[in-house]
Structure 1
Amino acid sequence: MAGLNVSIAFFFLVVGGCQALRWLSKRFLSPGAYGYLARELAGSLQLCTSGLELRMLMEIGPWGGGFGPDVALTLLFLLFAVHGASFDGASANPTVSLQEFLLLESNLAATAAKLLAQGGGMGMGWAATKLYWSWELTHFHLIQNLIASECSSSIHTALHHAAFVEGTSSFLFHLVLLKLRQSHPMYRVPALAATVTFLTYTAGPFTGAFFNPALATVATFHCSGSSFWDYVQVYWLGPLAGMLAALLLYQGNIPRLFQKNLLYSQKSKYKIPKARVAAHTEGDETQWKRKREKSNSEPCA
């Protein structure tokens, strides 16, 4: 278990370093530069480095370390809970940033800046993790370095099925995210961590369960066994289609493209209780009767 302890220490180091980067950026950068660039870069760096280390444990741990998938899934839940609590509003996921753009919560320039920062953070995270693995601090890293040049594709099923799996995972993730985005972090963070853990457990054997185009690009696009276009279909188009389907189902429309609700009828925001309507009707009738009696009682000229 010594190798597992080293990985856990690495997770703490990554979260602490990225938290320090967020603190320094917030102090010395403008709110716009921090929110659109530094925050997303730090979140993507944190997600990529910890995600790659955890994926290595999930692949090598069962036969190289003697621990089962329950250990890796527990670490996954705890890591995503920490990510949700420490990201400070960053998504570190291109489909989430595009969703915010389609919801009119972010303009085109801000969205482009977020996407660039996410790509840069993922690239930095990949380079930092490769450097860390090259030190071979544990036998896990030694094995990882031996098999790194011969890595195979994470797509272990038919191409159309793999795209469907990634799209469905993205659909469920974004549906939960939309439902909980206004909730208190105390409830939102563990719910999203549990969702990611469940999706990884169910979809992992088929595609690796990335449902994050940036993370999938740095983690698996360089591996042999599938073409670049295969990877694009599964890890870019699949999650994008899942996000659009979740947004359309939840909102009934896509605000950036059109305002008309395509799925749900427009209902009045304010409802008048039936008792109040009945009382109002009875009052009108009583008032009308009094006026009629008064007009009948007046003497004729």
Structure 2
Amino acid sequence: MAGLNVSIVFFFLVVGLCQVLRRLSKRLLSPGAYECLARELAGSVQLCTSCLELRMLMDIGPWGGGFGADVVMTLLFLLFTLHAASSDGASANPTVSLQEFLLLESNLSTTAAKLLAQAVGTGTGWAATRLYWSWELTDFHFIQNLIASECSSSIHTSLHHAALLEGTCSFLLHLLLLKLRQSHPLYRVPALAGTVTFLTYTAGPFTGAFFNPALATATTFHCSGNSFWDYIQVYWLGPLAGMLVALLLYQGNIPRLFQKNLLYSQKSKYKIPKARVGAPVEGDEPRHKRKGEKSSSEPRA
């Protein structure tokens, strides 16, 4: 289990370094630059490096270290919980940033900056992890270096089935994100971590269960077995379609494109009580006199 302990230390070291980066950038940069660039950059580095190391344990651990999928799934749950709690609101996922744009929560320049930061952060995380593996601190890393140049595709089913799986995972994740937007982190973080763990356990054997285009690009696009267009269909178009369906189902429309609700009728939450006509109370003087009736205030002849 020495190799597993080294990986756990690596996980905590990555989270600590990214946390230092967040704190420094928050002090040195303006709030807008921090939220668009530094926060997404740090979150993408943290997510990419952790997922790459975890996938290495998932591939090599069962026969190289003697531990099963239960250990890896437990680590995944704990890592995603730690990531969601420490990311300071960063999504590190292009489909989440595009969802915020479609919900009118961010403008075009902000969304473009987030996508750029996610791409740079994911690439940096991939390069840093490969450098860490080259040190061969454990037997796992030694084996990983031997097979890294001949990695195979994570798609182990038909393209249509793979795209449907990635789209379904993305649909469920985004539907949960929309539902829990206003929830307290104490409830939101474990709910998201549990959902990601379940989806990875279910769809992982077929597609790797990325449902994150940037993470999939850094992890599997360079592997042989499928073409670049195949990867685009499964890991980009699938999650994007899942996000759009989740947004349309939850909102009834896509605010950035049209305001009319296509699925749900907009009814007022408050009922307006109908006016009730009360019976005349004895002794009350009527407001209007009948035609021809003289007023009491008129002088008598």
Shorter-chain TM-score tier:
over 0.9
Match of 2:66 in 1: 66
Match of 1:251 in 2: 251
Match of 1:182 in 2: 182
User: CA–CA distance in 2 between the matches of 1:257 and 1:290?
Assistant: 62
| Unpaired runs of at least 5, structure 1 | none
Match of 2:278 in 1: 285
Structure 1 pair 292/168, CA: closer, same or farther in 2 (3 Å)?
farther
User: CA–CA distance in 2 between the matches of 1:254 and 1:271?
Assistant: 27
User: CA–CA distance in 2 between the matches of 1:85 and 1:179?
Assistant: 18
Local SS of the residue matching 1:45: helix
Structure 1 pair 287/140, CA: closer, same or farther in 2 (3 Å)?
farther
Q: Deviations over 1:208-245 (max 9, x none)?
A: 00000000000000000000000000000000000000
Match of 1:125 in 2: 125
Q: Which has the higher helix share?
A: 1
Match of 1:85 in 2: 85
Q: Deviations over 1:133-171 (max 9, x none)?
A: 000111111111111011000000000000000000000
Aligned residues: 294
Match of 1:9 in 2: 9
User: CA–CA distance in 1 between the matches of 2:216 and 2:190?
Assistant: 23
Match of 2:207 in 1: 207
User: CA–CA distance in 1 between the matches of 2:201 and 2:25?
Assistant: 35
Local SS of the residue matching 1:149: helix
User: CA–CA distance in 1 between the matches of 2:251 and 2:280?
Assistant: 45
Partner AA of 1:233 in structure 2: Q
Partner AA of 2:130 in structure 1: K
TM-score (normalizing by structure 2): 0.94
Local SS of the residue matching 1:241: helix
Match of 2:169 in 1: 169
Shift of 1:271: 2.7
User: CA–CA distance in 1 between the matches of 2:54 and 2:293?
Assistant: 97
Structure 1 pair 195/298, CA: closer, same or farther in 2 (3 Å)?
same
Local SS of the residue matching 2:88: coil
Match of 2:139 in 1: 139
Match of 1:260 in 2: 260
User: CA–CA distance in 2 between the matches of 1:195 and 1:202?
Assistant: 11
Local SS of the residue matching 2:279: helix
Shift of 1:73: 0.4
Question: What percent identity do the matched residue pairs reach?
Answer: 79
Structure 1 pair 300/90, CA: closer, same or farther in 2 (3 Å)?
same
Q: Deviations over 1:251-280 (max 9, x none)?
A: 0000000000000001013234xxxx37x5
TM-score (normalizing by structure 1): 0.94
Cα RMSD, aligned residues only: 1.9
Higher alpha-carbon Rg: 2
User: CA–CA distance in 1 between the matches of 2:63 and 2:75?
Assistant: 18
Partner AA of 1:84 in structure 2: A
Partner AA of 1:185 in structure 2: P
Local SS of the residue matching 1:285: coil
| Unpaired runs of at least 5, structure 2 | 295-301
Shift of 1:63: 1.0
Local SS of the residue matching 2:172: helix
